[in-house]
Amino acid sequence: MQNFVFHNPCKILFGKNTVPAIGTETLLLGKRVLLVYGSGSIKKNTIYEQVMQSLLAAGAIITEHDGVQSNPILSHVHKGIVLARTNRCDVVCAVGGGSVIDEAKAICAGTVVQHDVWKFFTGKKSIKNPLPLTTVLTLAASGSEMNSGMVITNDSTAQKFGFANKHLYPKTSILDPTCTFSVPQNHTAYGAIDAVSHVLECYFTTTDPHTPVQDRLMEGLVINAMESCNRVLEKTNDYHARADLMWTASLALNGLTSSGLGKLGFPMHMIEHSLSALYNVPHGAGLSAIIPGWMRYNMNKQPHRFAQFAERVFDKRTGTLEERATQGVSSLTDWFSKIQSPISITALNIPHTAIPELAENATALAKIWRMRDYSVEKIVEILHACL
């Protein structure tokens, strides 16, 4: 295990009937609130009404910024920044899933600076003093409600970039599993896959051979993500299944899994970002199309690691290391199919002729993330393994 610093300042309020606390929590940070949400699904249940009542009761002056889309885009971030500045907002409240929270983070960072917020994503500027953020989570997936990362697509350049900064942690996040009851089955599945992918990135890119504590933690999170997702898909309003999936997704990328693992990479996300930037596919669906191919491409380079994953997560204990590793990849791929998520890029209606463009697009992010071993040629090979 490597030296590490773990610091997560996000306050979590978890459980039933916690949404009405959002007003008090937000008004501790400011009075003029920019309320950020998506296409209006929260108005079809009681979440919007609960949030508005709580904010108004606490004395908030509210400006609404709606219309955040899946794979949030830079031009819409710009509109939110203008709203926040015009209305002198001093705090942002995001109500939604990872896309909404990510856009809210970008607005928090961009409102207080004179330069374009995109400079943060390209590494040309560093975040220092963003507006504070509170969240009400409505989708178990990205972990953005409890981490310091954000991902935005530049709709002018077709680049989907992401990064993390210690100033981007939400101050308070409310996690009420009942807020996810209305999430459709496909997006429930995509969210679970996103959570699993966050664990796999850490699990398979660490080079430290002695990480038993982290290994067991990560393996357990993968098992919990799959099991709770299966339970939710069987019964969409199973509170305990929704709660298990929600907390699993938060833990998968809140800093715990990566602690002590040393230098890590996020190659599966780096490649998937090109799929969703160029073809606007749902992030989880893109990941399930990339993960099997990436694993097949890499498993022979560290068969012990892949065999351990197969043994502990899928109970594959017979055969050679290579055979067990293969069984693990096949078992995970079978689970993706079981929950009806695509397992190839062709299943996303992306033609094989798009591979060179996808690879070229991905290398821009590979450079920013300092993944120098991911050349265009290597990414092309991985994408061919994803057909």
Q: 3-class DSSP state for residue 175?
A: strand
Beta strands 32-37 and 61-65, pairing class: parallel
203 vs 221: CA distance, rounded Å: 11
Measured between its terminal Cα atoms, the distance across the chain in Å is 36
pLDDT along the chain (387 residues), means of 10: 96 98 98 95 93 98 97 98 98 98 98 97 95 98 97 97 97 98 97 98 95 97 98 97 98 97 96 96 97 97 96 97 97 98 97 96 95 96 97
Would you call 168 helix, strand, or coil by DSSP? Answer: helix
Q: Which residues of 216-241 are buried (b: 16+ CB within 10 A; e: fewer)?
A: ebbbebbebbbebbbbbbeebebeeb
pLDDT of amino acid 40: 81
- What DSSP state is assigned to residue 69? P
Domains of the chain and CATH, by start: 11-179 (3.40.50.1970), 185-385 (1.20.1090.10)
**What's the CA gap between 221 and 249, in Å, rounded?**
8
Residues 6 or more apart whose Cβ sits within 8 Å of residue 370: none
- Neighbour-count burial of 331, counting CB atoms closer than 10 A to its CB (0-12 exposed, 13-18 middle, 19+ buried): middle
Structure tokens, 1: 């295990």
Are 25 and 172 in contact by the 8 Å Cβ rule? The answer is: yes
Give the pair of three-digit tokens for residue 3.
């030296």
Contact of 68 with 37, CB cutoff 8 Å: yes
How far, in Å, are 57, 89, 96, 285 from residue 63 at the CA level? 15, 8, 16, 33
Report how far residue 110's alpha carbon sits from residue 115's, in angstroms, rounded to the nearest whole number: 8
CA–CA dist 25, 54 (Å, integer): 10
List, in order, residues 6 or more apart from 381 with CB less than 8 Å away. 297
Which residues, other chains included, contact 42 with Cβ-Cβ below 8 Å and sequence gap of 6+?
A: 48, 51, 95, 96, 138
Task: Answer whether 38's CB lies under 8 Å from 66's CB.
Answer: yes
- 314 phi/psi in degrees, rounded to 5: -120, 5
Interatomic CA distance for residues 62 and 88, integer angstroms: 11
